[in-house]
Amino acid sequence: MTQALPFVVSVSVQQADFDVGGEIAALSEGRRDVGAIASFVGLVRDLNDGSGVSAMTLEHYPGMTEKALEEIVEQARQRWSLQGVRVIHRFGRLEPADRIVFVGVASPHRGEAFAACEFIMDYLKTRAPFWKCEETPGGARWVDARESDDSAAARWQDRG
Amino acid sequence: MTVKVLYFASLREALGRPAEELALPAGVATVGGLRAHLAARGENWQALGEGRNVRAAVNQRMVGADATVASGDEVAFFPPVTGG
């Protein structure tokens, strides 16, 4: 066993699409101590709350967004033994099947990778300043926050 | 004694502006106080009124209504977030 390699975190807020395979591969590039990589990819759905969605525009708060995401990753790092985290969140106009968000987590063990990946997504949903405006047959509408997102984030407060 | 106030998403649309410079009114020292002051402008500004689901950030950190506001701060008001 070699000496511990540093924790690597990278957060991007961008308009451009991303390469899922490349991002996952990069999480263990150049190191032999990673045992597990868990990842999540969020996509634009063509149906939401019973209406067809032809496109959506994601607005965000430049400056705060990056800070909020970095803070969420830092909280995950303090809870679990992690080796690397990559978060990418897109903004601007996206269409169904387009990728919105990527979270990838590298850890020595799968349990921690799964948990941290889910934690980051749950916290991102309630704390990162993004807002979705959907284009539907009835016109443009802002997506309302879901209570289920709040409870998904809150459940982590009851766990060690 | 001014603050920069930012509005996002549906709130930005309802208020018809993304941002404004505001002289901090005498007696306003908290996020909740500033929000009430703005809501008192009436009409569309009631979108910031009591009971409306509005979140706030000071200097790009999410805070509660009791958070203090001081000259030079960047204060943002927005609806609950819906990213991911």
Task: Read off the pLDDT of residues B4-53 as tens digits, 9 standing for 90 and up.
Answer: 999 999 999 999 999 999 998 889 999 999 999 999 998 999 999 989 99
Is B67 a domain residue?
yes
What averages of pLDDT result for each successive group of 10 residues across chain A (160 residues)? Answer: 79 98 97 97 93 96 97 97 98 98 98 98 97 95 91 82
Is B44 a domain residue?
yes
Domain that holds residue B6: 2-78
Is A110 a domain residue?
yes
Q: Using an 8 Å CB-CB cutoff, list chain B residues near A100.
A: 83-84
A92-94 sheet: strands from edge to edge: A92-94, A55-60, A130-136, A139-142
Residue B83 has pLDDT above 70, yes or no: yes
Q: What is the CATH number of the domain that holds B61?
A: 3.10.20.30
Nearest chain B Cα distance for residue A126, angstroms: 6
Interface residue of A126, A148, A150, A151 to substitute, partner B, most B CBs within 10 Å: A126
- A84-90/A8-14 β-pairing: parallel
User: Which residues of chain B approach chain A closer than 8 Å at the C-beta?
Assistant: 6, 8-10, 53, 57, 60-62, 76, 78-84
Q: What is the CATH number of the domain that holds A103?
A: 3.90.1170.40
Specify the pLDDT at position A1.
Answer: 52
Specify the pLDDT at position A142.
Answer: 96
Specify the pLDDT at position B1.
Answer: 82
Specify the pLDDT at position B16.
Answer: 96
ipTM of the complex: 0.94
Distance from the Cα of residue A130 to its chain's centroid: 12
B81:A142 CB<8 A: no
Specify the pLDDT at position A157.
Answer: 87
Is B83 a domain residue?
no
Is A3 a domain residue?
no
Q: Which of A68, A101, A144 minimises the CB distance to B84?
A: A101
Is A72 a domain residue?
yes
Q: Which of A42, A67, A129 minimises the CB distance to B81?
A: A129
Specify the pLDDT at position A158.
Answer: 72
Q: Using an 8 Å CB-CB cutoff, list chain A residues near B81.
A: 125-131, 145
Backbone angles phi, psi at B20, to 5 degrees: -160, 155
Is A27 a domain residue?
yes
Is A119 a domain residue?
yes
Domain that holds residue A25: 8-155
Q: For B75, what's the count of Cα atoms within 13 Å in the CB-facing half-sphere?
A: 28
Q: Using an 8 Å CB-CB cutoff, list chain B residues near A128.
A: 81, 83-84
Phi-psi region for residue A109, left (φ > 0), alpha (ψ -120 to 50) or beta? beta
Structural domains counted in chain A:
1
Q: Which of B53, B61, B79 minimises the CB distance to A131?
A: B79
- Listed in sequence order, the residues at least 6 apart from A35 whose beta carbon sits closer than 8 Å to its beta carbon are A107, A108, A109, A110
A128:B79 CB<8 A: no
Is A66 a domain residue?
yes
Phi-psi region for residue A8, left (φ > 0), alpha (ψ -120 to 50) or beta? beta
Structural domains counted in chain B:
1
Q: A49 — contact with chain B (CB < 8 Å)?
A: no
Q: What does the pLDDT look like over A23-58, one tens digit per residue?
A: 999 999 999 999 999 999 999 999 988 889 999 999
Q: Using an 8 Å CB-CB cutoff, list chain B residues near A149.
A: 84
